Structure 1
Amino acid sequence: MKGPNATAWLAARDWKPFAFQRQVWTAMARGQSGLLHATTGSGKTFAVWLGALQALIDAKRLKADAANSSKTASTEIVVPDAHPNPHAQPNAAPLTVIWITPMRALAADTLRALKEPLTEMAPHWSAGARSGDTTSGERSAQDRRLPTVLVTTPESLSVLLSRADAADNLGRARLVVVDEWHELMGNKRGVQTQLAVARLRHLNADLMVWGMSATLGNLDVAQHTLLGPGRDGVLVQGKTPKRLTVDTLLPPRTDRFPWAGHLGISMLPQVVEEIERSGNTLVFTNTRSQAELWYQALLDARPDWAGLIALHHGSLDHGVREWVEAGLKSGALRAVVCTSSLDLGVDFLPVERVLQIGSPKGIARLLQRAGRSGHAPGRPSRITIVPTHALELIEGAAARDAVAAGHIEAREVPQQPLDVLVQHLVTVALGGGFMPEALLHEVRSTAAYAQLSDADWAWCLAFVRQGGEALGAYPDFHRVQVDANGVWRVPDARLARRHRMNIGTIVSDASMAVQFVGGARLGQVEESFAARLKPGDCFLFAGRLLELVRVHEMTAWVRRAQGQRPAVPRWNGGKMPLSTTLADAVVDQLELAADGRHSSPELRAAKDLLAVQSEWSALPTRHHLLAEVLHSREGTHLFLYPFAGRHVHLGLGGLIAWRVARHSPTTFSIAVNDYGFELLSPTHTDWAELLPQVLRNAESDKALQQEVLDSLNAGELAQRRFREIARVAGLVFQGHPGEQRSSRQLQASSRLFWEVFRQYDPGNRLLHQAEQELLALELDMARLQTALARMNQQTLMLHTLERPTPFAFPLMVERFREKFSNENVAQRIARMVAQLEKAADGPSRRKARDKSQSPEGEDEGDVQAVLDTLDFGRDSPVSRRTGDRRPRRERKPPRPLPPL
């Protein structure tokens, strides 16, 4: 009897294997590892899974099972929960395949897909999932015997590796599959995965490792990171015919002075119309707060859709999310408003259309979300961008051109995060113990720690053994001890339980459960939001208007409310920076507009905005760096547009302000967005003279890093990074299940360690890591260096303004909204827009085109009205008067300056 035949199984369903699927099967039959990169919905899962069944199932065992089939019941592909004796089911195969997914929801969906061919191709195999959503009954069954195929997350796999019987339970695994590798490789969860795979390879030297992804720009780096240095593998690229449409939902009219913050609700009628036209639609937003608002707005617009539309994001209760996913699969839901919680590989075949509210901020994210529609080989996919302000029209055209050109962002891989390594050392010490020399060889077999120094390794060993130099007097930090045989173990059962409960690298603010009084649990909000609420306050959550009744033991007890203006929960991490790939594509679109080429529907829709920007200032291009200066009652405004993303602009703005202040002490306010930044000084600043000097590049990368750190409140920022590092490294205990400690307690604990290390252990590697992560993650130092180098090669175009331009206005609004977020400010912003629109249409614009007429003859009323509104008035709490306003300068024509 032959082994299972994947081609025959597909043929029985009128399917034929693609060439890339056969390529994977051939490689797996040879025992090779590799990376599969193929379009979303093209059959990646079956490529790897059917190849695994063909390569790993013993034909003799299959024949024996067939002979015994008349003696046994039909196979149930579930983890048995009633047989504590593993020999009670002699036909059950041991753990053979470990399938790692980045999300719990994806684990459940993947398990359903993997079960499909088992009845015919591997009746003696069982399959199960282990994640944070796994019930206690399932966990107990898995503790007695793991299934043949285990779908899990990096965190749950590390928990299994921390068990004393890890070698027996996991050592027979022959294949590890890492699904959606692009989602993991660029963060600490990916590093945790690398270490786990290295441990499994240590237990079984013949282990095969395969990764899958649909949106990777640097495939060689991705494969190297997955398999480890010096390990050969197969790179399979699945190119299947699939039509992808990327378009933009155009507004009925385009504002010439856009500002972020209204979340695009003005596009609601068009969104409703698009949902009506489509069978099933996913409406993606970039933040959970935005998803809550859009869901409520859709219900308000179409009350008859109650029960036909739903909300899905990561803070909702697991049961709610499962109900929504089931409704999508069955086609019962017309539309779901969601976040990245539905980004990844979950297969919702009925979905025909994807709407993206606002910019996707990156090409990879756009492609990933587009693939949720038409999620099957040969079916077309379509994603429509719904701009939340006029500048996002340009991003829509840029994204489409980038997709057509095949430009996808590269993923950067973290290097040597010692907090993850410290956690792993304790995990392995629990999982049977380790010998330092052997484990060092294993750790260095990963891409993240290939260059780990002997000194760093020795420091990590000392840290888990006695807490380093500063914590040696505290028994809780003597986590690992050396036994009589030289094996490093965790002898304290209490410390062992504590470590297992806090395994993982996902760090967020403490969450507070939201639950109806006497009713169901809805999900969780961050404690920092709930702490601002008083009993009787209302907020919008899980698509409902809720009233807070009381807060007790980290639970917000609520009841339904009606007719009151709600708050909306805000979760950290909401603002994603524009990727380099998409930012470059946006500049290309501006260059087309500067040349008078408005070929795309988006550029034609934004033509009036771009025309005002060109007349009042200029459009930035790849070869020209645009700077604008405006004098107002607040002082001197500098607007600079490097198009490098908000993280880089924060660093650049601080750097330039610091360099100026060194020569002429002054105070600056900074506002940033993805296109540029604003520096406001209360005194007159001659930017024409200063800007070429302060934009110079530093003598070295190290000198530039030090300047950036000196220019910001680096101590506070690094301390914030240290809070996360302290949790991952096991210094701060996050609490037992059900009794999560408050964020205030966690912050106080991490702050205490920060101060102790700075005073008594200044060479502590975790302090240095906090500084490096600040530079790499929050300030994106590599991208900042690249941006500054590019700016030094561009021609600087400095324009003196009489009023804010369409590009400058959103930066001014950003600064106001950072300090004030109330209706009064929104009304003032609306008046600013009205005055600027009037100036754009009035005589001042016509006279700006008349070079023979002096600017002094312009309509002073319009200009002064704009400036007065800009300052929010003399008596406004937002006003920042610093003395008499300087007389308005005569407008000068744009001055090109030589390259820096």
Structure 2
Amino acid sequence: MNSLTIFHPYTRNWFSRALGSPTQVQEDAWPAIAAGSHTLVSAPTGTGKTLSAFLVFIDRLKTEARVGTLEQELQLIYVSPLKSLAGDIRENLKRPLEGIYEEELHSGDYEQELPPSLNVAIRTGDTTQSERRQMIKKPPHILITTPESLYLMLTSKSGQSILHTAKAIIIDELHALIDSKRGAHLMLSIARLDKLCSQPLQRIGLSATIEPLCDAASYLSPDPVTIVAPKMHKDIRIEITSPIPDRQSGIKDPIWQEVARAVYAQCKDSKSTIAFVEGRAYAEKLAYFVNLIAGDGFARTHHGSLSKEQRFEVETSLRAGTLRMLCATSSMELGIDVGDIEQVFQIGCPRSISSTMQRLGRAGHNPNRTSVMHIFPRTAAEGLYSGMTAEVVREGGIEHSNPPKLCLDVLAQHLVSMATGDGYELNEVLELLPRAYPFREVTKEDVKSVLGMLAGDYEHDRNIPVRPRILYDRINERVDGDPYSRMLAVSASGTIPDKGLYAVKTESGVKLGELDEEFVFESRIGDRFLLGTFAWQITKIQKDSVLVAQSNVYGARLPFWKGDMKGRRLKTGQAFGAILRRLAIANEMGTLSKELRELGLDEEAVSGAEDYIKRQIEATGILPDDRTILVEHFRDETGNQQMMVHSVFGKQINSPLAILTLEAAKKHIHANISYVEDDDGFLLFPYGEEEIPEGLLHELRTLDARPILEAILPVTPLFNMNFRYNTAHALMMGVRKAGRQPLWVQRMRSAEMLEALIRYGEHPLIRETKRECLEDYWDLPGLEYVLNGIRSGSIQVLELFVDTPSPMSFLLRQQTEAANMYDYSPTPMGIHRATEDALKDVTMIAPEAEHLARVSERRRLPEDEKQLHSLLMMEGDLIAGELEVPIEWLENLARRGQACYIEPGLWIAAEQLKKYQAALEEGDTAARKSLVLRLLRYRGPQTAELVCERYYWSEEEAQQLLKELCQAGEAIEADGLCYHSELYDRARKETIRSRRAQIITLPSERYAALLASRIYRAAAPADQLEAVLKQYSDMYYPATYWESVIIPTRVTRYRPELLDTLLAGGNYFWQLMGEEGISFHRYEDIDWQADLLDTLENLEGNEQKAYEALLRRGASFPQRLSGLLEGDVSPYDTLLSLAEKGLVCADSYAPVRQWLNKEKLGKASLKQRVSVRAKAMTTGRWEITHPRREISIEERMDRCFDRMIIICRETVQGITWSQALETLR
């Protein structure tokens, strides 16, 4: 039966006329969706999935509109993981809507009126406020949105007023969401929608090929789901083409140059090509090199760090056929409409099978066309792995999905969002969770633990004041929110991590994209970089943005961005291992090249891969495979031993396996050991000469694996990274301020929180981060499979010692070098502890009274009974009248069982009754200390008498408690009062800050004026000149500066004769040091005992004779040396030559002036040159420049102060800054 018969004739006629026959996907999906069944539609790209989901609802809504039963309210929600994809869907919906409208117009049924129309609207982060207001006034029939925008609508009353009438929801690109917390976030939003609407929504999931289908169906809905996944044969072809680099050319990036040539040669005659790469920097690099060949504009880029405007521009250009080639990352994997794509390229080996299939589906988008992908490997190894990937894709070996479970951080975010409305009871949450697959295993205790975290329980336990994220009534199991809850839920929503990226903007404010924080830190104003195939020059670096102006591409750098990868799955690793095992057999049989050709490699790629395999077998005798782990021991260039483990099972197994092996190695050697890992193995490298023993993998026990990994996990970078993300997801980092928050600030705050919470093993975020690492990033069942295989022998471990590392170890050895390059040797903890101990004895600045009072001030009072209960939970006991709140509030709380009144006259939160009984009745010391610490924190400084009066303890007991708290550093006694140590320290910092504020920072012009004030303008010119030489003695400056800049600006009416007269006086002499310049020195600094014979021995000819004469005779006129020199040589020229070496000087500055004008003199007439030479012979006496005595650092410091007045790193001269600091201390 033709499924089109279920539609109204208008719809049926339009479809037949515009599209012809339905695809198999549409044939199977329409009846299920029309019957109201939850439906999962899984099929390759280009098989009509979108229309299979929409057409039933369009037909139904149009039919209702014709008979007048369609209300102006929301009926259908479509959720897209990409904002740009949402825009595409609205455009694509125009086709059926306008087509059916045309059918209605031409039917003759609407002669008196126009056919009814359906309203479609988009709600994303780009939707304007006016559009949102219009949506509230007139809700659309079909709403297109994103997971984050759907959550925000659920958080607001106005959004709920639009959503509550919805009947169905379409989740597009389900495969892109199912493995992530973003998907978990969306599924909980849909569960909340079920509760908001009068009945559970019909759920339709659209996905590319996904496995296993039954799990995906369970993920989509807890109710029965109809699976539509027809067996559709689509012809595919994957070819691996290896470019041949010209390694003799000496050009930069020869591989990329050749890849660009090969890519251009393949696509120059095509109308549209997408070239996929594995990183944003590679997209920019490929486009740059292709444009060098084809001309600017031939290739453009598309990736997540470009602005939405730039991405939209290239999408439009590609769709319109005006852009020939697009260099893209995974941002183009999803179904963004860019028209018909003739070719798809992949540069380098794809990261996963599923992404390869997604990218392959971009070419030959229509069902009956062949999809072709050309892979261009950059190395022989990439050629081999590209071939293996191609074979697995041909066999349909897609990775299985692995949806995250629990997701307590996401749950926390939704619990705050739900509290912003009318509040909720705990049981309502427990009813909600089974409707969202990732939260099915969440228990009541889990929810209560998360609520306690949000309410501040863990901060209360550590006496840290915190504004609760929710108002949690534990007695009645009720949750409410306040304005702060709403601020948190809106400002810090979603699960996309904040990576501290800098916005790139033009001077006019147009956003171009984003840059990695680390790249910006390594850049300076004036630097140029490529972004979106255009070159930009940095004009200004601001707190959260980089301002740029357009520039030329030559010399522009390629930016870099850092990303996270989960790595290869076990199933794919096993498939790769089986292929490697087959290739090893083929090598023995002499058919290796044939096998490689069958993988899809061209002749050049076959040659490279064959050589690579043969060299590996020659080095190790075997290839690693699905049944063999290869371990090689070798020494690096420094002589230290390294251990390379070749394991094809993927990073999700290799990461935990590396940690277990490292811990096993530590039992044998005491050296510090590090490791790096990837999809193909891991490398252990100890620091030191100790050797890693063999047989470590055989020591590993399956039963010990999980406990060891759980113990080690908190100190791994993986745990720290995910904990930071999870604290942000759970809204525990506070309100996210507008603009960029530096990544280092996020890391610091997260590290402080982790350090405080790590002792709470059951803290929701600690639990969730452990779970995420162990289950989502690592594959522990797969690890057990490998460990059991090693023990049973089904997986053999071949261990060998080699002189040089094998070819397959090259990539990991490169990573090791990179890791060591950026290892700045952090200070050992022992040194930190020693420093802390040393600082304990340092006398602290006592805080001022006003600052002590200020830090103890109450910032805000509770505004209602709920906030008063939260205050009691945080601050502890309250005496009636102690706060300006109505006593009726306390009484009402007591009636509801949330508060109670206990002797001696204290109001407390009912949840803390046991704690107070332990302190007041049972005399529990720990409980008493906790009460006193909270008293000091929230009620200000105390004495033993005040504590006794409040709690009815004896004075001795109170004094002992305060003494023990002071000894533990938790309290500080000063002037007869005890203060909470953190408040006291904060007051001390306030005092220091206040005193520093009294030190006024002056502009640099004031310093220049201060230096100018040292010029002796009131003295005679000769005295001014002597002051200048004294101030600037021993300082080298270019020779031209002295009489053009330095002296004239400091000596009134300066004349050259003044300097000649001063030098002739015998207090100062000059020393010429060639191109370095010239300096003046004091005769009193000369070391008259210095030996000058070594200098004499190093001279030759007339220079030696002249120097020896001056050494014997002392200061002499040039004429006295005439008879001593050989040949027709002027004594003056010889003396000038010695002066250039800094060996002699004259008691006049005239020789220096003539030396400076030697080039000009060389062009003068003979008569002029003779006149100058004759005059030079009478310019004073010449003498040897004796070495100067060693001047002490203290004396050098005195001269620095005389010269510069203020000493700092930039002004210190004659000594190093470290020497200056040491002297000043």
For 1:251-650, what aligned pairs fall within 5 Å after superposition?
A: 251-252=243-244, 264-303=256-295, 306-466=296-456, 468=458, 470=460, 474=465, 476-480=467-471, 488-492=479-483, 494-518=484-508, 520-562=510-552, 565-573=555-563, 575=565, 577-596=567-586, 597-598=591-592, 599-601=595-597, 602=601, 604-605=606-607, 606-617=609-620, 618-632=622-636, 633-650=638-655
Task: Name structure 1 gaps, 5 residues minimum.
Answer: 66-90, 256-260, 823-900
Contact 1:292 1:543 in 2 (8 A): yes
CA distance in structure 1 between the aligned counterparts of 2:801 and 2:449, rounded to whole angstroms = 56
CA contact (8 A) 1:227 1:233 kept: yes
Structure 1 vs Structure 2 CA RMSD: 2.9
The one-letter code matched in structure 1 to 2:481 is V
* 1:204 aligns with one of 189, 195, 198: 198
Report the counterpart of residue 998 of structure 2 in structure 1. none
Q: Give how far 1:575 is off.
A: 4.9
Deviation at 1:784, TM superposition (A): 3.4
Distance 1:615 1:581 in 2: 28
Match for residue 235 of structure 2? Answer: 243
1:302-325 deviation per Cα after TM superposition (whole angstroms, max 9, x unaligned): 22xx22321111111111111111
Residue 63 of structure 1: CA displacement?
A: 3.8
Query: Partners in 1 of 2:717 and 2:347 — Cα distance?
Result: 34
**Distance in 1 between residues matched to 2:26 and 2:617, nearest whole Å:** 52
Q: Which residue of structure 2 lines up, in the alignment, with residue 190 of structure 1?
A: 183
Q: Deviations over 1:182-241 (max 9, x none)?
A: 11011111111111111122223242101011131211111101102xx11100013344
Query: Is 1:719 matched up with 2:720?
Result: yes
* Aligned match of 1:171: 164
Alignment of 1:767-782 (within 5 A): 767-782=766-781
Report the CA distance between 1:753 and its aligned residue: 2.6
What one-letter code is carried by the residue in structure 2 that aligns with 1:604? V
Contact 2:404–2:776 (Cα < 8 Å) also in 1: no
Q: Which secondary structure does the structure 1 equivalent of 2:453 belong to? A: helix
Counterpart Cα distance in 2 of 1:655 and 1:551: 45
Per the TM alignment, residue 166 of structure 1 is displaced from its structure 2 partner at its CA by: 4.6
- For 1:650, the aligned partner's letter is S
1:139 deviation in Å?
Answer: 2.6
The alpha-carbon deviation at position 682 of structure 1 amounts to 5.6
Alpha-carbon distance between aligned partners in 2 of 1:438 and 1:288, rounded to the nearest angstrom: 44
Paired with 2:298 and 2:420, the residues of 1 have a C-alpha distance of 49
Asked whether the equivalents of residues 263 and 290 of structure 1 are also in contact (C-alpha less than 8 Å), the reply is no
Residues 636 and 475 (structure 1), Cα distance of their counterparts in 2 relative to 1, 3 Å cut? closer
Counterpart check, 1:225 vs 2:219 = yes
Judge conservation of contact 1:44–1:212 (CA < 8 Å) in 2.
yes
Q: Deviations over 1:514-557 (max 9, x none)?
A: 11223632111133332332223333322233332222241111
Query: Which SS does the other structure have where 1:556 is aligned?
Result: strand
Is the CA contact 1:38–1:214 (under 8 Å) kept in the aligned structure 2?
A: yes
Q: For 1:245, what is the secondary structure of its paired residue?
A: strand
For the structure 1 residues 581 and 360, does the alpha-carbon distance in structure 2 shift closer, same or farther, using more than 3 Å as the test?
Answer: farther
How far did residue 6 of structure 1 move?
4.2
Q: Does structure 1 retain, via aligned residues, the 8 Å contact 2:307–2:514?
A: yes
Residues in 2 aligned to 1:755 and 1:680: alpha-carbon distance in whole angstroms: 28
State the partner residue of 2:817: 816
Whether the 8 Å contact between 1:127 and 1:149 is mirrored in structure 2 is yes
Within-5 A mapping of 1:761-800? 763-792=762-791, 793-800=794-801
Is 1:678–2:683 an aligned residue pair? Answer: yes
Structure 2 unmatched ranges of 5 or more: 1-5, 102-115, 248-252, 824-1225
Per the alignment, do residues 638 and 466 of structure 1 end up closer, same or farther by CA in structure 2, a change over 3 Å counting?
closer
Equivalence for 1:752: 752
CA–CA distance in 1 between the matches of 2:349 and 2:648?
15
In 2: Cα distance, 1:583 partner to 1:805 partner = 20
Deviation at 1:468, TM superposition (A): 4.6
1:110 pairs with one of 86, 89, 93: 89
Distance 2:656 2:474 in 1: 49
| Partners of 2:420 and 2:481 within 8 A in 1 | yes
Please name the residue that 1:136 is paired with. 129
Q: Is the 8 A contact 2:417 2:485 kept in 1?
A: no
Q: What secondary structure does 2:438 align onto? A: coil
Give the deviation of 1:121 after TM superposition: 4.1
Partner SS state of residue 149, structure 2: helix
**Structure with the larger RCO, 1 or 2 (CA within 8 Å, 6+ apart):** 1
Count of aligned pairs: 780
Q: Does 1:53 align with 2:53?
A: no
Q: Is the 8 A contact 2:300 2:532 kept in 1?
A: no
Summarize the Cα distance change of 1:254–1:237 in structure 2 as closer, same or farther, 3 Å threshold.
Answer: farther
Going from structure 1 to structure 2, the CA distance change for 1:612 and 1:751 (only over 3 Å counts) comes to closer
Code of the aligned partner of 2:631: A
Deviations 1:833-885 (A, max 9, x none): xxxxxxxxxxxxxxxxxxxxxxxxxxxxxxxxxxxxxxxxxxxxxxxxxxxxx
Q: For 1:182, give the aligned amino acid.
A: H
**1:25–1:52 contact (8 Å) kept in structure 2:** no
CA distance in 1, matches of 2:349, 2:274: 15
Q: Identity over the aligned pairs, expressed in percent?
A: 24
Q: CA deviation at 1:736?
A: 4.0
Kindly indicate whether the alpha-carbon contact (under 8 Å) linking 2:343 and 2:373 is maintained by their aligned counterparts in 1: yes
* Distance in 2, Cα, partners of 1:508 & 1:16: 46
Structure 1 residue 681: Cα displacement:
3.5
Q: How does 1:19-58 map to 2 (within 5 A)?
A: 19-54=24-59, 56-57=60-61
The Cα of 1:126 is off from its aligned counterpart by 0.8
Question: Residues 437 and 188 of structure 1: is their aligned pair in 2 closer, same or farther, counting only changes over 3 Å?
Answer: same
Q: Evaluate the alpha carbon distance shift between residue 469 and residue 389 of structure 1 in structure 2; reply closer, same or farther with a 3 A threshold.
A: same
Structure 2: distance between partners of 1:560 and 1:156: 34
Give the match for residue 704 of structure 1. Answer: 705
Alpha-carbon offset, residue 804 of structure 1: 2.5
CA, structure 1 residues 488+592, in 2 after alignment: closer, same or farther (shift >3 Å)? same
Cα gap change, 1:581 to 1:137, in 2 (>3 Å): farther
Q: How big is the shift at 1:576?
A: 5.8
1:31, CA displacement in angstroms?
1.0
Using a 3 Å threshold, how does the CA distance of structure 1 residues 409 and 535 change in structure 2: closer, same or farther?
same
Task: Quickly say closer, same or farther: Cα 1:547–1:2, change in 2 above 3 A.
Answer: closer
Aligned 8 A contact 1:516 1:559 in 2 = yes
Task: Between 722-731 and 803-812, report the one with greater CA deviation.
Answer: 803-812
Paired residue type of 2:244: P
- 1:617-665 C-alpha deviation (Å, 9 max, x unpaired): 1212332222222234432222211112345333322321221111222
Q: Which residue of 2 aligns with 1:653?
A: 658
* Structure 1 contact 398–588 (Cα < 8 Å) conserved: no
TM-score normalised by length of structure 2: 0.60
Residue 768 of structure 1 deviates from its aligned partner by: 2.1
1:778-836: per-residue Cα shift (whole Å, max 9, x none)?
A: 444444334433444312222332322221223222222333499xxxxxxxxxxxxxx
For residue 81 of structure 1, what is the aligned residue in structure 2? none
What is residue 210 of structure 2 aligned with on the other side? 216
Cα 1:465–1:711 change in 2 (3 A) is closer
* 2:167 alignment partner AA: R
Distance 1:609 1:253 in 2: 16
Distance change in 2, residues 1:720/1:574 (3 Å): closer
Instruction: Provide closer, same or farther for how the CA distance between residues 119 and 778 of structure 1 changes in structure 2, counting only shifts above 3 A.
Output: same
